[in-house]
Structure 1
Amino acid sequence: MELVRLWLVDDHELVTEALAARLAEVADLWVVGRGATDDPDLVSRLERDRPAVVSVDPDTSRVDEGELFDAVRRGAPQARLVVLSGLVDTARVVAAARAGADAWVPKAEGVERVVEVVRGVARGQGWYPPEHLGAVLRAFRDEVARYREGRDPLAALSGREREVLAALVDGLRGPEIAVRLGLSSNTVRTHTHALYGKLGVHSRLAAVSAGRAAGLVPQRGDLPRSS
């Protein structure tokens, strides 16, 4: 029997311990590590433990969801990503899919569903709740249509809004964006809310996902960082 190496990323230590204990009872699952979303050694620990599947609970994440997913990808680039969430928000589900999540499991589904999904994604499958799957498929279908038609999905954005979006994709926060672009924090907030509206998104993660889907890639370099 081939064991599935599983890593748990969650800020609820007691909940994570309880879940790890339950999963330890499953013969073909091996919880090789667990940690918090803001663990400064998350990337290196994932690199060391080489999980096949990483589960992430972003609901109370102490870092931006996009940054969290990026950290997981850097530490375990070959691992499958499963989101465990107690929140029902179609926009977040779609954003997670765009960010590369292989599955989204509502916590209300229970441990049995988690086990089923983890086994499935380890075999290359994916899983999304049926009530959200349609939105996920439509989002990717629309992106393919825009690509085939040669349309710029960011065409509605002003030049400054594009710059703000590019900074978001780079992982910068409001004060850091203000420094980079020479703007006030209030102006950055105004541009951010405007681009959210034009892209039809409601969160930073969703905006970053839309930007990456349109071809923007992180260009960190020697970017100014706020203290």
Structure 2
Amino acid sequence: MPARPVRLWLIDDHELVAEALAAALARVEDLWVLGRSATDEDDLLARLGRDRPDVVVLDPAGADAADLIPAVRAAVPGAAVVVLTGADDEERAVAAARLGADGWVGKAEPLAEVVDVLRGVGRGEGRFPARHLGAVLRGLREDVRRHRDGGGPLAALSPRERQVLAAMVDGLRGHQIAGELGLSSNTVRTHTHSIYAKLGVHSRLAAVGVARAAGLLPRRQVLPTMS
């Protein structure tokens, strides 16, 4: 009896790219595209929860991976997540792994490579490019070491910086954080830069990835931020 096809859902704000990929994958016998959507569709998470794909393939360019990946994983707990992106950024790959992504593949890769990654992730494998795999493993090992040693990557943060970081994990933007904490936007910006420096990262995505890996989880239901 043949194995059941891997059921896919594509999330991409570039409609022509999503259409072309869906059409190409439709010719692959053991992959089945259940549906596709943009990141800003109001019923995206409800549709994912209803159709329950095996693998969600997403390009967070139109949203923020720090919001989108956890939201997708919460909507479909049993699904794997593959980031299909035009960016070749080692730090973002590490952050995506920390957020729970199972795979990372570039849009410039040949279709055969994309198919191989989707098949592998559908079998429960993790698939990151060899050029980024060392950094991903080092990042995850460092998280484990810090957790084991009891210090953790957040130990160097001041109480106010932890509040700002917690708000970032909640999906709030700079002006929203300022309003919630009663700070000026410039003060929030200063705290944010200090957080990046202390965590050794250069982006909000990476900072949230480190925070979530260290156990700092959202305090409220977080949906993808559409802007």
Name the residue aligned to 2:220.
Answer: 220
| 2:32 counterpart of 1:36 | no
Name the residue aligned to 2:194.
Answer: 194
Name the residue aligned to 2:5.
Answer: 3
Whole-angstrom distance in 2 between the partners of 1:105 and 1:9: 14
Q: Is the 8 A contact 2:143 2:152 kept in 1?
A: no
Structure 1 position 142, deviation (Å): 1.1
Structure showing greater relative contact order (alpha-carbon pairs closer than 8 Å, 6 or more residues apart):
2
* Equivalent residue letter for 1:171: G
Q: Is the 8 A contact 1:45 1:75 kept in 2?
A: no
Q: Is the 8 A contact 2:56 2:80 kept in 1?
A: yes
* Equivalent residue letter for 1:12: H
Whole-angstrom distance in 1 between the partners of 2:191 and 2:6: 44
Structure 1 position 75, deviation (Å): 2.1
| 2:151 counterpart of 1:129 | no
Q: Is the 8 A contact 2:84 2:107 kept in 1?
A: yes
Name the residue aligned to 2:163.
Answer: 163
Whole-angstrom distance in 2 between the partners of 1:97 and 1:157: 23
SS of corresponding position for 2:10? strand
* Equivalent residue letter for 1:198: K
Name the residue aligned to 2:224.
Answer: none
Name the residue aligned to 1:224.
Answer: none
Q: Is the 8 A contact 2:178 2:185 kept in 1?
A: yes
Would you say how many aligned residue pairs link Structure 1 and Structure 2?
219
Q: Is the 8 A contact 1:42 1:75 kept in 2?
A: no
Q: Is the 8 A contact 1:65 1:205 kept in 2?
A: yes
SS of corresponding position for 1:119? helix
Quick one: percent identity of the two aligned structures? 64
SS of corresponding position for 1:34? strand
Q: Is the 8 A contact 1:85 1:106 kept in 2?
A: yes
Whole-angstrom distance in 2 between the partners of 1:147 and 1:68: 25
* Equivalent residue letter for 1:214: A
Whole-angstrom distance in 2 between the partners of 1:42 and 1:25: 25
For residues 112-191 of structure 1, what are the structure 2 equivalents within 5 Å?
112-191=112-191
* Equivalent residue letter for 2:23: A
Whole-angstrom distance in 2 between the partners of 1:18 and 1:220: 36
SS of corresponding position for 2:108? helix
Q: Is the 8 A contact 2:34 2:53 kept in 1?
A: yes
Structure 1 position 152, deviation (Å): 2.9
2:22 pairs, out of 20, 23, 26, with 20
| Larger deviation, residues 70-79 vs 48-57 | 70-79
SS of corresponding position for 1:108? coil
Q: Over the residues paired in the alignment, what is the CA RMSD in angstroms?
A: 1.2
The unaligned stretches of length 5 or more in structure 2 are 222-227
Name the residue aligned to 1:225.
Answer: none
Name the residue aligned to 1:69.
Answer: 69
Q: Is the 8 A contact 2:12 2:18 kept in 1?
A: yes
Structure 1 position 39, deviation (Å): 1.3
SS of corresponding position for 1:109? coil
SS of corresponding position for 1:6? strand
| 2:92 counterpart of 1:92 | yes
TM-score w.r.t. structure 1 length? Answer: 0.93
